[in-house]
Structure 1
């Protein structure tokens, strides 16, 4: 034990010395020297096991206070293991900000995010260092990436797990529908179809893993489930000849899981499908997404008896019972991690159907699934392109471009009828009439309202 403590002290001393030298070597003016001293004191609070040294460093921070310190003191408090330091840091926040949110970290974050971003020049190094104690992979997300980003660094929060700590399912075993005796007909599944390859991913399994990577219908894909914001999105992971190996970073942005790619350790926004921090930023990378249908196992296998489904034997030990994973979170409207400017137009976790055309614009539409259940045929347009949403008896939503076809009737299952009496067969990726006319699918997925609104503040809500 003595050896371990000594070793920790030595490592902390080396770290502080290294960053001090680095900062001095890069900046020689008085401002730069002050930044070196500031950063050294934040490191002391972060790493020192000497209570008096830590309190002395906090005193320095208080005497040289800047607005840029708010987020750093908050994050020190969040990760602090010292009762005395906790008290001093909290008292410092109260005194310097005039806010009294106690240990309600979500309120502190929301208050900071309500203002313009104000970060110290060394904040990215601080963020890398404070998270390095959790996972050796984490520093690379932030080190020297202060200018390689499209989102606020202070909005990136640790989600409570290490890199791939929620283990993705890589090339998981799929079984036939008749062999899936562990599933009941009312169990929720996420259904996909790629080039005639039909697959179902039960929510009860995927909620424990939040991602699968595989080749489906000859296409390399990643299915990403952000349980916190209710999205299941299917991405093609090959773009312009590059295959991106994606995983779970362990971090969140606006309560939405951030992915990472193994080669560059860039952070990717799950809803946007593009890198937001790291060397891939600015390279015009945005993954193409495909449709995912949230439905019941009984409805999906009736439509697609040839479907395969995840094997219950995933290689991991989990309680895969229906409704077990995230039971408490899904049972209330409370958020685990907050977002800036939350919108109460509908309940936070009201499921919406997300519709957009990312190849054309960032404009988007969010339609409440409650509204769609009452209106199983819903017609509208986006960016001048007309579409229809057909909602079946299970509540599953499918969206199709309609061109000049006017769908007026739907049997709630597999047949839609237009205003000329022409019947259209409903397939997963298109509508087709008896003459072979095809109306293509508009790719869509479901999400919780609060998460979608946080990603697209200007979205149009239909409720």
Structure 2
């Protein structure tokens, strides 16, 4: 609240699609689509060109003045953002096309970042001392994500954590993150850095400051 210096806690979040959510939470209820604001047929999937904000997402103009801008990325390029203490980093979502996984370190905190199963958004977890890769089966079936650590141990994302599948009960917590347009992220974190989005052949490494991305089943070695 204004004048109290109180700060809201930023919690982990996940983007997903309705069928996957409903399968996991079958008792979910939905508010009436007839809200009186938009007609019911306006609530179409965002990827369709008749969705409410389709045009806005692909225009460089913003709905309000943005005096502080940066041209390193396109105005409305979508980024996945992490902020720990005074350090912040933006990961363009294009980095995660092709099932890429990033083992990274930010503000001395080791994290692993990847896109979930088909339809799920990018998420980040603590990785402790592990270096993860995506297991081949998780890419092939498109239904689940299995990570493999440097010792061959398997891990699976569960609610707000990575859970070891070796029966030990070990978990690695999901970390707070934000999805944003580039212009919005830059306004809040003008001194952050960016994981490099430079396009390279699938067999090439993509340098990401203190990390490197190995496409498909690779990992990162700091």
Residue 389 of structure 1: how far off its partner (Å) = 0.6
Report the alpha carbon displacement of residue 460 of structure 1 after superposing the two structures with TM. Answer: 0.9
Does structure 1 retain, via aligned residues, the 8 Å contact 2:33–2:43? no
Q: 1:342 and 1:317 mapped to 2: Cα distance?
A: 32
1:452 is matched with which residue?
185
- Residue 308 of structure 1 and its aligned partner are, at CA, apart by 1.8
Match of 2:104 among 380, 390, 395: 380
CA shift, 1:332, in A, is: 1.8
- Corresponding residue number in structure 2 for 1:415: 146
Q: Which residue of structure 1 aligns with residue 32 of structure 2?
A: 312
In structure 1, the partner of 2:43 is: 321
The equivalent residue for 1:397 is: 122
Calculate the TM-score normalised by the size of structure 2. 0.72
Deviation at 1:334, TM superposition (A): 2.1
Name the Cα RMSD after superposition. Answer: 2.1
Q: What is the rounded CA distance, in whole Å, between the counterparts of 1:346 and 1:366 in structure 2?
A: 10
Aligned with residue 370 of structure 1, among 77, 90, 94: 94
1:328 Cα deviation after fit: 2.9
Residues 313 and 340 of structure 1: CA distance in aligned 2, closer, same or farther (over 3 Å)? closer
Matched residue, 1:428: 159
Within a 5 Å distance, the mapping from 1:188-227 to structure 2 comes to none
Normalized per residue, which structure has more helix?
1
**Residue number among 65, 69, 88 corresponding to 1:342 in the alignment:** 69
Instruction: Return the offset for 1:309.
Output: 4.8
Cα distance change on mapping 1:327 and 1:373 into 2, 3 Å? closer
- Name the residue aligned to 2:216: none
Counterparts in 2 of 1:317 and 1:447: CA distance versus 1, 3 Å: closer
Aligned counterparts, 1:243-262, within 5 A: none
User: Structure 2: how far apart are the matches of 1:374 and 1:459?
Assistant: 25
1:255-274 aligned at under 5 Å gives the runs none
Whose radius of gyration is greater, 1 or 2?
A: 1
- Structure 1's 439 and 347: CA in aligned 2 closer, same or farther, altered over 3 A? same
Whether the 8 Å contact between 2:14 and 2:120 is mirrored in structure 1 is: no
Aligned 1:90-101 pairs, distance under 5 A: none
2-structure distance, mates of 1:461, 1:435: 36
* Contact 2:13 2:178 survives alignment (8 Å): yes
The correspondence for 1:355, drawn from 75, 78, 82, is: 82
Match of 1:146 in 2: none
Distance in 2 (alpha carbons) for counterparts of 1:348 and 1:317: 28
CA contact (8 A) 1:414 1:427 kept: no
SS in 1 for 2:97: helix
Is residue 290 of structure 1 aligned with residue 11 of structure 2?
yes
Instruction: Indicate if the aligned counterparts of 1:373 and 1:395 stay in contact, CA closer than 8 A.
Output: no
Unaligned residue ranges in structure 2 (runs of 5+)? 198-222
1:71-90 paired onto structure 2 within 5 Å:
none
* 1:96-147 CA-partner distances (Å, limit 9, x unpaired): xxxxxxxxxxxxxxxxxxxxxxxxxxxxxxxxxxxxxxxxxxxxxxxxxxxx
Question: Mind listing any 5+ residue stretches in structure 1 that lack a counterpart?
Answer: 1-274
1:441 matched to 2:162: no
1:8-28 residue CA offsets vs partner (Å, 9 max, x unmatched): xxxxxxxxxxxxxxxxxxxxx
> Residue 289 of structure 1 aligns to a residue in which SS?
coil
